[in-house]
Structure 1
Amino acid sequence: MLAKLDYIRRLLATGFCFVLFGVGGLILGFLVFPIVHLFAGSRERGVRACRFAVRLCFRAFAYTLSALGPIGHEIHRRELLERKGQLIVANHPSLIDVVLLMAYTPNASCIVRAGLFQNIFTRGPVRWSGFVCNDTGERLIDDCVAQIKSGANLIIFPEGTRTVRGKPLKFHRGAAHVWLKARCPLTLVTIKCEPPTLARGEPWYQIPPKRAHFWLNPCDNTRLEYDSARAVTQYWQDYFSSENQDEPTRAAD
């Protein structure tokens, strides 16, 4: 009986948090961020202010998830995420990954799929915060490098989408091309979630039988010595597979 009540409580809390996220996106995108840019004095200052607000909001959202019960989290070596002008590469087991990463990363930017630039709940925050759209074609790598050179901490998930549970990781080479061109500080962040939740193909209401907990473990990988995108991508793919105890991976494309 207690287990059933806990399940219902977490289900209701999860639904509430999704509503909160959507409403927050509308308020920030259509009210707060336009005002911020109006008084910022320059686009660069406006973008940085919006990213600071996103960080605070995501931190508050993460703590709300923890307080209400659906999801707990812990992060190790947070100082690695606080460096300036770095590339942050992470695996992507859950919908909540980017929220947790941005909650602890100052001046964070990321590559966002084009659909989020059209979604009414997300288009305001991603545009005003200067995030990178993934449909810019040949400019994508240069746009990413420019953000890093400007001091932003760029978050990339090399899988391009959430991990399909039970299948080997399959990384794309774009993130490696960015790092090889930028030659910036590099942080790998292993994200683990137990029990799994909000994975690819899972609706929000399909919650696990008990509270999910996330572990984020950053590692400095700046001294990586490979010089080809294929080799870098394969190294990352093998690293994350090993960290998550996945099966051997296929060759990176």
Structure 2
Amino acid sequence: MDIKPLVKKNNYSINQWWRLFATALGFMLFGLCGLIVLSILWFSLLRLFVWNKNKRIVIVQISISFSFRIFIRILKFLNVIQYQFDGLEKLNQDKSCLIVANHPSLLDFVLLASVMPRCDCLVKGALLHNVFVSRIIKTAGYILNAESEKILPQCQNILLNGGRILIFPEGTRTVPNQPIKLHRGAANIALRCHANIRVVHIQCDPPYLIKHQRWYDIPTQKASFKITVGEKILIDDFMDQNTTIAARRLTSYLTSFFTKSRIN
């Protein structure tokens, strides 16, 4: 009578140890490829042979998307995660808009960038101190939130040329079971650049690589990501002579959207 539960427990333990090993292997490959293959080799070649900065940024972003796509497929193959995109066709059609998403996991940007070959991103300036990603951020032309005086001109230039900008308005990863708090940066950029917003909801169950969670804290089950491309918010619906009031109203709307999506 006790054999089945015991076998199930042993299998579960083996599976969890395997995912720990596979996670370490996956991130080791990610770090080595990001530092050596992309940053040192490929980007150096691009700087030598592609002198036009805008063309170089396009190639770099496509390269990043391709490498991320390989990375998440490796994690899926190793049984570390599974993922599903809903409404991806809407995302592929978007131009000159902001892509605004919630931020439950460390893999959120990797997942979204893997399906968007051309996409700029607003990133933390503190990431420039990370040896694995600093050169990637600079070469890809990503927007640094630490350079506040450059943010709006960069965004306007990208959007006027049909580009998309990915923003996580929480500013950091979501703390599970805590109220969602958004900064007004995304709303201000949308209003001042007169750009529509495509909202994307990311769900991860069970929580994986969340804020304050160590990489080796492996969940009891394989993490499952569901990325839902939602509605497009027309910025004209929120325009107001008082930008501060408009930004507050738009941020409140986005907060309500992500809160309801998390409950559902």
Q: TM-score if structure 2 supplies the norm length?
A: 0.89
User: Which structure has the larger Rg over C-alpha atoms?
Assistant: 2
The question of 1:16 aligning with 2:34 is answered no
Of 218, 227, 240, the match for 2:258: 240
| Conservation of the 8 A alpha-carbon contact between 1:117 and 1:133 | no
| Conservation of the 8 A alpha-carbon contact between 2:66 and 2:117 | no
- Note the C-alpha offset of 1:25: 1.4
Matches within 5 A, 1:129-144: 129-144=140-155
Structure 1 stretch displaced more, 120-129 or 179-188: 179-188
Q: Deviations over 1:108-158 (max 9, x none)?
A: 111111121221110111111100111012332332232222332210000
2:192 alignment partner in structure 1: 181
2:156 alignment partner in structure 1: 145
Of 194, 199, 214, the match for 2:225: 214
The question of 1:161 aligning with 2:172 is answered yes
Matches within 5 A, 1:1-253: 1-27=10-36, 28-82=38-92, 83-224=94-235, 225-227=237-239, 228-245=246-263
| Conservation of the 8 A alpha-carbon contact between 2:124 and 2:145 | yes
Q: Which amino acid aligns with 2:261?
A: E
Q: TM-score if structure 1 supplies the norm length?
A: 0.93
Structure 1 segments of 4 or more deviating over 6 A?
none
The CA distance in 2 between the partners of 1:109 and 1:131, in whole Å, is: 6
Q: Which amino acid aligns with 2:256?
A: D
The CA distance in 1 between the partners of 2:160 and 2:61, in whole Å, is: 16
The CA distance in 2 between the partners of 1:153 and 1:124, in whole Å, is: 21
Q: Which amino acid aligns with 1:45?
A: K
The CA distance in 2 between the partners of 1:149 and 1:106, in whole Å, is: 18
Q: Partner of 1:196: helix, strand, or coil?
A: coil
- State percent identity of aligned pairs: 34
Structure 2 residue ranges without an equivalent (≥5): 1-9, 240-245
| Conservation of the 8 A alpha-carbon contact between 2:199 and 2:233 | no
Count of paired positions: 246
- Note the C-alpha offset of 1:17: 1.1
Q: What RMSD in Å do the two structures reach over aligned CA positions?
A: 1.4
The CA distance in 2 between the partners of 1:229 and 1:34, in whole Å, is: 41
Structure 1 residue ranges without an equivalent (≥5): 247-253
Q: Which amino acid aligns with 1:30?
A: I
The CA distance in 1 between the partners of 2:55 and 2:78, in whole Å, is: 34
1:249 alignment partner in structure 2: none
Q: Deviations over 1:48-106 (max 9, x none)?
A: 00000001011111111110011110101112222222210000000000000000113
Structure 1 stretch displaced more, 230-239 or 173-182: 173-182
1:250 alignment partner in structure 2: none
Q: Partner of 2:203: helix, strand, or coil?
A: strand
| Conservation of the 8 A alpha-carbon contact between 1:50 and 1:129 | yes
